[in-house]
Amino acid sequence: MLEPEMLRRGLLAWVSRVGGVLVLLCCSLSLLYVMTCSPPHSDDTPMSHALPRAEQKHGNAGGTRPGVRTGTGGLGRQEQSLLRAAKQIAQLKEALQERCQQLKGVQESLKKGLTEGQDSGTRSHAGGGEGAKSQQTDIQEFLKGQLSKAEVSSGSRFPSEYAVVPFESFTLQRVYQLEMGLTRHPEEKPVRRDKRDDLVEVLELALQSLNTPSSQQDAKAQNSKVYTPSDFMEGITRTEKDKGTLYELTFRGEAAHEFRRLVLFRPFGPLMKVKNERVDTANAPINIIVPLSRRTDKFKQFMHNFREVCVRQDGRVHLTVVYFGNDQINEVRSILENTSREANFKNYTLLQLNEEFSRGRGLDFGARAWKGGNVLLFFCDVDIYFTADFLNTCRLNTQPGKKVFYPVLFSQYNPALIYGSAEHVPPVEQQLVIKKDTGFWRDFGFGMTCQYRSDFINIGGFDIDIKGWGGEDVHLYRKYLHSNLLVVRAPSRGLFHLWHEKHCADELPPDQYRMCMQSKAMNEASHGQLGMLFFRQEIEAHLRKQNQQQSPKKS
């Protein structure tokens, strides 16, 4: 008998607590309504008069709560305000329901036809009358307005690099994200469910669009290729919080250098198809410009990657090396000649500047020295590793007079710390793994970029007054942000910054030396790995203690 009685009492106590929470919640909502919806002439009326009335209204139905005023004197204005607020809320709910029904109608009509002509015809039949047609037209105009305001076809002018909304890149299995913190990873796999469902919907609509011919010419092309998810190469997406979400998806085409690109936009409503185009990169050579001063060992490693990717796999690349000074110039020339002879590669230029090293000066000099027309430029450093897929991404994300590409590269941590010691470090090709403990997205760097020579010349090129290493890349990046060109800023899974030791000069003042050491630490290892190094003595002491405790037991 005790157990049912205890259960009943526990249930009553739980109900009373829940009731108390609901009363407090209702009181808070009532106070919020009065504060926001009271007319100006009642501002001087104390809020304490409205709160008890709201509590009385939402209180226990069994009777009047103690201490609550039940009179009506002086409360007429507050009651009127509450009634007006309730009426406005009811009207807003009704309008919201109506808008939801309209959006459903638009979404259904958009699904029935992908082209604009099919969309408009479907909406005419689905409207069910002039009123419905008018309402759907209003929503359609709103969605198109969101599209026109978003940074889709042309660039927006930004005050600084911090105002840019970067893209995320994704494949069928992974999403590459910049916003990491201490818990998220540079690549997301498996992709969380809400994002996966969103990208699956986008991919399905893209495939439907590719396999649905919209003209007789497309119908002929349709007979030769049916697009499947295996043709999907890579996509980029970003959300502008006040406009919507943009998606760009790239598929392999029929020919080796042909691609299909689809642009979709979700203006916080149904997906809209913006563009479906063929892109042919067969006649899009890339001039890779590398400024260099000494560092011949790094240049040998760079040329090994260049020979494999640019010569053997891609074959549409020109290399321009701008060398500063005379020291080791013969070694650099010998490396280039050996590559030319062994790989039958002639598309390179060696330029020499007898002056103090300046990265911006070298890149600017190399870009202006090109006389072969409007070529795609890739500004690169000697400690960069890239893949053949990146070269295609470079071509696909640039367009003369319209957009430039600023990829975010993956910066490698110290391999000796990642793999335990220098003796266990694998070859470079096996180190190119995008994980939290192997590196990070170098989102503060803007040195590696793809842009057409005409855009570079028109924007004014680099600031050649900047000496040494650093600063010139941000200056050029800001000039593009202040123009009407679209700046594509996205993580690139095929572009890596190889680790090299950072030296902090003794002649630096204390504050700059401290900043240099902080930068060095950030490039050495992850947060967790640095923590293990910091607490190494405690970890080793704990291990020795555990071994000592286990030794007597074994004996």
What tokens does 54 get? 């709201």
481 contacts 371 by C-beta, under 8 angstroms: no
Distance CA 68, CA 74 (A): 15
* 233-283 confidence digits (pLDDT tens): 999 999 988 888 999 999 999 888 999 999 999 988 888 888 999 999 999
pLDDT at 17: 60
346 contacts 311 by C-beta, under 8 angstroms: no
Looking at the chain, the whole-number percentage of residues with pLDDT higher than 90 is 42
- The percent helix, strand, coil of the chain (3-state, each to 5) is 50, 20, 30
* 431-464 confidence digits (pLDDT tens): 999 998 899 999 888 999 999 999 999 999 988 7
Q: What are phi and psi of 67, to 5 degrees?
A: 80, 5
* 104-117 confidence digits (pLDDT tens): 565 555 555 434 44
Is residue 467 pLDDT above 80, yes or no?
no
Distance CA 555, CA 551 (A): 6
Helix (H, G, I), strand (E, B) or coil at 278: strand
DSSP 212-262: S--SHHHHHHHTT----GGGEEEEEEEEETTTEEEEEEEEE-SSTTEEEEE
pLDDT at 466: 64
What lies within 8 Å, CB to CB, of 423 at 6+ separation is: none
The CA–CA distances, whole Å, from 364 to 70, 457, 468 equal 81, 9, 14
Strands 286-292 and 317-324: parallel
CA-nearest of 87, 77, 86 to 58 is 86
Highest-scoring range by mean pLDDT, 22-26, 88-92, 93-97, 135-139: 88-92
Binned at pLDDT 50, 70 and 90, residue 96 comes out as: low
pLDDT at 44: 39
Distance CA 237, CA 246 (A): 5
pLDDT at 540: 86
Q: What is residue 352's DSSP assignment?
A: E
The mean pLDDT of 182-202, rounded to a whole number, is 86
Is residue 137 pLDDT above 90, yes or no?
no
Binned at pLDDT 50, 70 and 90, residue 338 comes out as: very high
Distance CA 189, CA 270 (A): 27
Binned at pLDDT 50, 70 and 90, residue 389 comes out as: very high
* 475-507 confidence digits (pLDDT tens): 999 999 999 999 999 999 999 999 988 788 787
* Residue keyed to tokens 């291990």: 543
Is residue 11 pLDDT above 90, yes or no?
no
411 contacts 385 by C-beta, under 8 angstroms: no
214 contacts 115 by C-beta, under 8 angstroms: yes
